[in-house]
Each structure stands twice: as structure tokens, then as C-alpha cells.
A and B are shown apart, each in its own frame.
Chain A
């Protein structure tokens, strides 16, 4: 018997399709067709948008949903590529790190919707008269809402790779390139996937806001759910808004089931722990593909290619050589590097000053700051209110495991749901009862982000150790004392995590939430968000820049002075276990 005799029958069996192959094949081909269809639409000239404008006919919704989803996915792919390069650079090079990490910190607090103004103009000029330019602008807007937290997560992971694994890969002569793909990337995977899912959820908010945008006298309306909603608002068509919400619901469920669950289930093996956990995430989709025979056989070449790729002998410096002496020469280069950074920062500051001072006066700065403090007050009040409501509710749910199991996914879903879809409802109510927009538009800012507080508190309360609860019970602790001494300290770190996300999101949402309209009715609440939104609409770039800068500074200060110390305190003193 030759080797071939042994191999052929087994290989033959591996190739013979089974029933799961048929199902999986249909899914794969379906996805391909959809991608091609969606892709074709983007290469049309810009004038085509005017020929077939967005219509409120609900039969168009599946096509719109497809295009919107494709923009989201494309942005996620860009974010992942960006993350790999940026995070690896920041983690591997000390000098790059000095610049990249503070930069990332600031980029995180820049109001994303403020970006739109510049990018739309930039991309439209890049591809004059083509839909592609507008598409790219939209994808870029979504990208800027998704990338930063993913990059941070990956950077943190690479920096925290366990020392023994690092030593093992060094002592087994893995090259820098191999080490990156075999150690750094797998180790970063769980955090990266979790953050990708969060980003995907966050992205919906911006896709809805960025598909239909007016900058000065340029108005672009890309076919998609966002534009559909914008038109619905303009035409005061409430049923259309309902359809859009329903479609969004279906889309979110679909990509959760078809994309994220399989990925999470697959990535379970990358979780860095030495014991098997009790409940492993499962996915019917992944099981389906794992049961297929022929399709899996088809993936072998890709697996081999992947392996060859990670084993490429590239000369990437991976700290293979050990530094023998840390001496003066590196100090000199450091000084030069630092001087270079300072010089370019100084130049940038000077240019910004020149640009802004040409049109703006100090009183404009004061005005922007004043609006900033109004919005700041809103954020503080809203976070306080949301906390007063959702902390007790979250604790109540979290201490009931059966209930928590059911509510938790719902809360996460609500966090993913783009709250701006619900804005029209509020506007109708405000107009109907002629309420004060300065007060009643505010809840919109936290509409979408309050759920982060809820689901983090639920998670904290669920994780609260039973023995501590029992101890509290046996000492007859109850009422106010129980809240202050037992449960609030127990959930504190979780609550802070939720509140940080919620407050960041609220700042961002203020740009959309402080200005709302329904048909011809425009409601404006005075605040920094409205300031930026108005300047965008008027094409007043200096004011947009000023508004963004003020918001950036306020958000960064707010984070540094309030949230970070609270977070550190929670981690140091109140982390259980």
C-alpha cells in the first residue's frame, strides 16, 4: 500500500459535501451577491443620486439597510487595519509611543460629528462628481467613531503580554514578525473583539447622522437608513420612522447572529486563562460551518496561507537582540526627538492661532466656552439622573440571576440602538405641548448612552459575591445602610466604567441632540453641541474648529479630573476578588 492509497479515501471523504455544506454555501453565496450589488452602487456619478432620490417607500428599506450595513462593515475593516498598525507601532517603539498614545487620547475625546464638516469637503474634492467621494466621507466618519477604543484595547493588550510567554517566544527564536502574529495578536484578540462589537454598536449612531449631511451649500444624501430617516423627519412621516426602526432592529439581530456570535465563540480559545470556564459562548452559525465537510476542506489552503504569512521571515525588529548598555547615545536621540515633537506642536499651534484669529475675536472664545459650560451642566445633570434611576434598577435586576440573564442582552441591544431614530418622537411631543427645548431636548443626549450604566450595574450586581450578601443578611443590614455599606461599594468599579462611557457618548450626542427638527419645526437648545451644529450648517469653519477644540478640552479635563481618579479609586479599593 502506498502513501496515496492511505490518503485518497480519507481526502475523498473530506471533500464529499454533506447537508451542512449546502446551507453554508447558500449563506456564503448570498453574502457575496449582496456585497457585489452594494458595491456596484458606489461607482455611479454623484448626479445619479438626484435622478433616483431616496424615497420613503418601505420596499426600498432592505436595499438601504444593505448599503448602510456595508458602510459599517467597511469602516470596521478599516478600523481593524488601522488598529493593527497603530497599536503595534505604539507598543513596540518607545519613541512612537510618546506621540501616538497622547494623540489617541485626544482623538478619543474629539466630537466625531464635528469631523464630518472637513472630511466631506475633503473626500468630495478627492473624487469630484462621484458617489465614491461621499461614500468614503461617510465611511470615514463611521471609522472615526470606531477605531480609537479598539486601538487602545490592542495597545494595552500588547503591553501586558505575560512575561513568561514573551521569554518563551524569545528563547524559541521567534522572529519579531512571528511573535506579533503568534503571541501579540492572539493575546489581544478577546479584548479587540469585545471592543469591535462596542464600536459596531456605537457606529450606528453616526451612520444615521452622517448619511445625509449639509455643509454650507453642499448637500449629499446617500441612499441608506440614515437618509431615509432624515427624509422621514423632513416629510413628517411617522410611519416611515417606525419602518426604519424595525429594519434597524432586524439588521442588528442579523449581524449579531451571523457575524459576532460566531466570532466570539471562535475567539473563546484566545482567552488567557489556565482553567476551562463553566460556560463557553456558543453560536449556531459557527457550529454549522464546523459541521460542513467540503467547505472546510476548501478553507485548508487559506489556513496554510495564513500560517505561511505569519511565518514569513521578515526583518522586523522585535527586540530579539538584547540591549547590552543603555547609555548616553539614546538620550541624545531622545532629546532630538522631543525637540522635533515640540517644534511641530508649536508650529501647529501657531498655524491654528493664525487661522482662528483671522476671523475670531476673544469674545468668540468666551462665547464658545460659555456654551461649553452649559452643555457640561447638562451632561452632569443627565448622568446624575440616569444614575439615580438605573443604579437601583440595575441592582434589583442583577441580584436576580434568572431575570438578569434575560434583561442583560436587551440592555446591550438598547445601547447598540441608534437613539437618533427616536428623536422625532421627542420633537413631536415638545412641539405639541410647547415645552422648553432648553430642558426637554436634553434627555436626547443620554437616550442612547444611559444603557451603558444599566448593563454595567447589572453585571456588577450579578458578580457580587453571594457570601457577602449572606453575611450582610445575617447581620440584619438593610435599607439605607445596606446600600451604602454593601452594594454600592460592590458595584462601584462597574458603575464607573458604565458612567465613563455614558458621559463620553453624551458629549458626542449633544451635536445632534441640541438641534432637532420635525418637518419645518426647528428646535434649538443653547449649548456647545448646537453651536457646532449651527456652524457646520453655515459652513463657518473657524467656529467649527473653535467649538471642537473647546469640547475636546472640556471632555479631556472632565475625564482627567473626575472619571480617572474615581476609576483608579474603584480599582484600588473596591475591586472584589
Chain B
């Protein structure tokens, strides 16, 4: 009985963890104890913020990287190297620019050693299916983004995989093109014309996940964990304006802005505490602009995130970053999918430039520990200078190198705006002197 049940599972992920070396040489956990099962005939979405490890999980399933611990099985076999019966669609399309559309599509079959006549027939069939007729001899650079991603789909489908992996396949496309491609794909899926059994897609676009998936796994960040599993029972084709659809989107927004259970002063998304806090770079201009927008009508200090995202034409991920930065600086508060201005935030919106800078500086010192630390060190040293490497080393005790880069970049840009301290790019030193 148990065996039979297992056979229906295309994919079995049990307790998978993955860590990467940090800047300081220790390991940084990006994926913690993930369980995932995929059955035949479903579209599953992995939804999460950037850095939540969902792409890492996809690459483990694709056999491109190995899990640090845990068990990943595809069709009952442990994954070691790209498994048979799995193919992948890439965010950046990953087409070979020196091969024509037809040659790109045939490539996967060539690697499998499929004989040339059959190769041609199958490639043409896949090209036909995905709506690329007439483009067979074109080179990728001659195609628009949407057409290129269609080649990506044709290339993945032509090998008739059981499981199709998609890594944010629509996020490099403009809104209209992405929507056309999504509906085309869903139509083919509903009509049963895709030569595949299941789909696993990674996305950070909440509406996209609700539009396409039968099941959504919401990932939380640092380390990446499955925070929730949501079943979507709406029939295809789904309507974005349908109240049930909207409600689902709202509830996922709310869930993703929820504070975590653990009792740390950290806010979801702003990772780590104290000096080890990872700061995502958001320009102070954008922050001021957002504060002004929130303070003015129609929001008057209180905005619903999906509405705000729609109004500002931002992806959910971007709006989360902005909201979290404001929350970190105590200019606004995130909860249940809403963003509310604090008193300080309202005050900021009504101040003149110099007063804004002073308020910003005050909040930086009080609420961003690393800013306070740098300022203190600079005050204490007789020379009032300190090499950036000193703080970078400290940051790298807590985070990976690129995260430390991003955090340093944020520190420099915020400190410059607040006129807290200066930074010289050439000598890579912080100092208290501002150039006159």
C-alpha cells in the first residue's frame, strides 16, 4: 500500500536543509527543514520574498546543487545530478544566442541522443504547440522577450518531462506579455495538451501564484521555511477581479507581513538583529516619496498593500522592502497587509529638507544599531576615520558576502543623506569630515 502511494509522488522532499559559506567562513542557513511532495497533475507554486531560499530549493530539485542534509527524491530515486524527466524554464530564458530557435529546442533531445529525424519532428511539434510557428530559423536576439520565453518553454517541453520546473518565468517580461504567456500556458494545461504531468513554479508575484497554481507554499525568510500551504480551488480560467480571488490575494499579503512567532525585535524581512541586521538598499528619495504619498490623500496615513502596490506599479517584493525599511526606521508600521504611518512618519512628511535630514539621522542612530556603532567608533578615534573593512568583517560574521555588500551600500547611502558621516570610495574609509 505504502509503495503504491509513493509511486504517485513525482517528487519527495524530506527535511531538506541547505547552507552556504558566510563571509567569515561559517555556514549561513538559507533553507531549513523543508518538506514538499508533488503529485501527478498539479501546479504547485513556491511563493516567497527574494532570499527566502525558494530558488535554492528549485535548484536542489533540478539537481544543480546538492542539499546539505535531508532527502530529495524524484520518481523514487535520490537526486544526484539533473534527474531524468525534469526540465526547467529560466527567468533569464537561458537561450544559446548562437543557435536558432529550432536548434535551441533540439538541443535537449540531442543530449539525450534522440535520432535526428525524430528530433526534428518532436521539435517542430513543440514549436507549433507553443505558438512559435514561422520563427524556426530566427536567432534569439531577433525575438522579443515574450517570444524568447516561448522558446524557453518549447525547449523544456520537447523532452516530455514529467515535472516542469519554472524559475520566475514571467518576471523578466513586461506586464502585458507576461499575462498573455500565462493564459496561453494555463489554456494548454487545462486542455491537457502539455506533454507533462506536473509543474513546480517559483514566484514572488502573489497574484501570479493565485492565478496559476493549485497549491501554494508560502516561504518565510532567514532561514527559508515553508510558513504555510494554501490550496486554491478556483476553477480555470480564473478572474483577477473575482471577490474570492481578491480575498485570497489579500490574505496572502497579510500572511507575508505577519510578525514571526519568535520573540526577537526583528521584523519579518529585516533579517538578523543588532549589528548583524541585513539592510536592503532603498534610496532615501524613494523613502521620502513614499512617506509623502502615504501622508497625503487618499491614504491619509493608512494604505492597503495590494492597493498601494497597484497604484505605485510595484511588485509585491519591492513594496515589502519599502515597508520594512520604513518600519525599521519607525516611520511606519506593517501589519496584516497594511502599512500605517507613525507619528514620526507624519512629521517627516511635513518637514523641510534640512529638518528631514536631522529626523532621519536621529532615527538611524536610534534604530539601526550598525549606524550607531560606526558613529561611535568615528567619534572615539582621534583621527575620526575608520576603514570600511573593519565593519565589513563584523557584518560578515552574520551574513554572506553579497549581503554585507548590500548592507554597506545602504549604510553609506543613508548616512550620506542624513549627513551622519562621510565615506570615501577610493580609500574605502568612513570619516566625520564632510567635504567643503
Contacts and interface: CB of A to CB of B under 8 A. Distances in A.
Interface of A: 162, 164-165, 167-168, 170-175, 178, 182-183, 186, 189, 269-276, 311, 313, 320-324, 573
Interface in B129-152: 139-142, 148
Contacts of B178: none
B90 A164 contact: yes
Interface stretch (B62-70, B207-215, B260-268, B413-421): B62-70
Contact of A270 (B90, B98, B107): B98
B96 A322 contact: no
A168 B113 contact: no
A270 B96 CA distance: 9
Contacts of A162: 94
Given A322-B66, A324-B66, A167 B90 contact: yes
Contacts of B148: 274
B141 A173 contact: no
Given A164-B92, A274-B140, A276-B142, A174 B111 contact: yes
B87 interface: yes
B141 A170 contact: no
Contact of B108 (A165, A172, A183): A172
Interface of B: 59, 62-66, 80-82, 84, 86-88, 90-94, 96-98, 107-108, 110-113, 139-142, 148, 155, 159, 426
A168 B90 contact: yes
Contacts of A271: 97
Nearest to B155: A172
Nearest to A324: B66
A181 B111 CA distance: 12
21 contacts: A164-B92, A164-B93, A165-B96, A168-B90, A171-B64, A171-B88, A172-B87, A172-B108, A172-B155, A173-B108, A174-B111, A178-B110, A182-B96, A183-B96, A186-B96, A269-B139, A272-B97, A273-B97, A311-B110, A322-B80, A573-B426
Contacts of A182: 96, 107
A167 B87 CA distance: 11
A271 B63 CA distance: 29
Contacts of B84: 173
B81 A320 contact: yes
Contacts of B65: 322
A321 B97 contact: no
A187 B80 CA distance: 27
A566 to B, nearest CB: 14
Nearest to B100: A269
A275 B141 contact: yes
Contacts of A168: 88, 90, 94, 96
Given A167-B59, A172-B108, A311-B110, 7 more contacts: A170-B82, A172-B159, A183-B96, A276-B142, A322-B65, A323-B66, A324-B80
A263 B127 CA distance: 31
Contacts of B159: 172
Nearest to A186: B98
B94 A164 contact: yes
A168 B151 CA distance: 13
A173 B80 CA distance: 12
Nearest to A267: B98
Nearest to A325: B66
A7 B281 CA distance: 62
B53 to A, nearest CB: 17
A250 B65 CA distance: 56
A320 B80 CA distance: 9
Nearest to A189: B98
A182 B98 CA distance: 9
A167 B64 CA distance: 7
Given A165-B94, A269-B98, A274-B97, A170 B111 contact: no
10 closest pairs, A vs B, by CB? A164-B94, A168-B94, A172-B108, A173-B111, A324-B66, A174-B111, A186-B98, A164-B92, A171-B88, A322-B66
A274 B80 contact: no
B111 A178 contact: yes
Nearest to A168: B94
Contacts of A175: 111
B386 to A, nearest CB: 22
Given A274-B140, A311-B110, A323-B66, A171 B82 contact: yes
A276 B140 CA distance: 9
Nearest to A272: B97
B115 to A, nearest CB: 11
A341 B148 CA distance: 48
Contacts of B82: 170-173, 320
Contact of A171 (B87, B92, B96, B98): B87
A322 B66 CA distance: 6
B162 to A, nearest CB: 14
A165 B96 CA distance: 7
A320 B86 CA distance: 15
A168 B139 CA distance: 17
A222 B241 CA distance: 85
Nearest to B79: A322
Nearest to B104: A168
A321 B97 CA distance: 26
Contacts of B64: 167, 170-171, 322
Nearest to B84: A173
A465 B134 CA distance: 39
B97 A172 contact: no
Contacts of A322: 63-66, 80-81
B67 to A, nearest CB: 9
B23 to A, nearest CB: 17
A274 B82 CA distance: 27
Most B Cβ at <10 Å: residue of A273, A274, A276: A274
Contacts of A167: 59, 62, 64, 88, 90, 94
B428 to A, nearest CB: 12
Contacts of B93: 164
Nearest to B65: A322
B97 A269 contact: yes
A276 B406 CA distance: 33
Contacts of B113: 311, 313
Nearest to B96: A165
A172 B96 contact: no
Contacts of B80: 321-322, 324
Contacts of A272: 97
Contacts of B142: 276
B427 to A, nearest CB: 13
B63, B86, B155, most chain A CB atoms within 10 A: B63
A178 B93 CA distance: 20
A269 B140 CA distance: 10
A274 B95 CA distance: 10
Given A167-B90, A173-B82, A273 B141 contact: yes
Contacts of B86: 171
Nearest to A322: B66
Contacts of A276: 141-142
A321 B140 contact: no
Contacts of A573: 426
B364 to A, nearest CB: 28
Contacts of A186: 96, 98
A183 B82 CA distance: 18
Nearest to A183: B96
A179 to B, nearest CB: 9
A573 B428 CA distance: 13
B89 to A, nearest CB: 10
A178 to B, nearest CB: 6
B161 to A, nearest CB: 10
Nearest to B165: A171
Nearest to B21: A326
